[in-house]
Amino acid sequence: MKAFPFYENFDVLCRALNSNGAFLAVKDRDGRSNIMTIGWATVGIVWSKHVMTVMVRPVRYTHELIENATAFSVCVPSGKYGHELMTCGTESGRNIDKAKKTGLSLVPGKLKDSIIVMECDLFYECEIIHKNAVEPGSLKPDIKGDLYPKNDFHTIYYGEIKHAYTK
């Protein structure tokens, strides 16, 4: 594994998010884990820290886990994992073991209490430092109408990037 400054592979992350997505991997304090496909994330500097934000809707099983977690990881696969990304984005971890169904390997990360998807090529391990709910009244009407027709607004999780590395 080769560490890199958190901003160096931003283009790779953005290309993945803008196409098939990336994996959000979470293990809660009770040892339950899940993989969810994400298509939205931001990377930047907040509170003088290197931060990644991810968004999870409260109806998702991942939301239940991340609410009881101290860390999350965002793992970016090469282009050959479209089926696995689709499965992890459309099926619920409440009903199936996504790692088992897809053949993906969840292994401990470098950060205490984090897990990663080993088959990926790019990894961000983040310690959760803040969360807040999307405020419906603050959204532009077109975003609210297009992306929240069921009023199922995301929770935004801010993770301090503790480890950024490639295989």
Domain CATH for 63: 2.30.110.10
Number of domains, the chain: 1
- Per-position b or e across 22-52, b if 16+ CB within 10 A of its CB: bbbbbbbeeeebbbbbbeebebeeeeeebbb
- 102-160 residue pLDDT tens: 999 999 999 999 999 999 999 999 999 999 999 999 999 999 999 999 999 999 999 99
pTM for this model (two decimals): 0.95
Q: Where in the sequence is the domain holding 107, given as residue range(s)? A: 2-166
User: What distance in Å separates the CA atoms of residue 64 and residue 146, rounded to the nearest whole number?
Assistant: 25
Confidence of residue 78 (pLDDT cuts 50, 70, 90): confident
CA triplet 99, 130, 128: central angle to 5 degrees? 35
Confidence of residue 79 (pLDDT cuts 50, 70, 90): confident
Question: What's the confidence (pLDDT) of residue 52?
Answer: 98
Which CA distances in Å does 75 have to 35, 72, 104, 147?
10, 10, 12, 24
- 32-70 residue pLDDT tens: 999 999 999 999 999 999 999 999 999 999 999 999 999
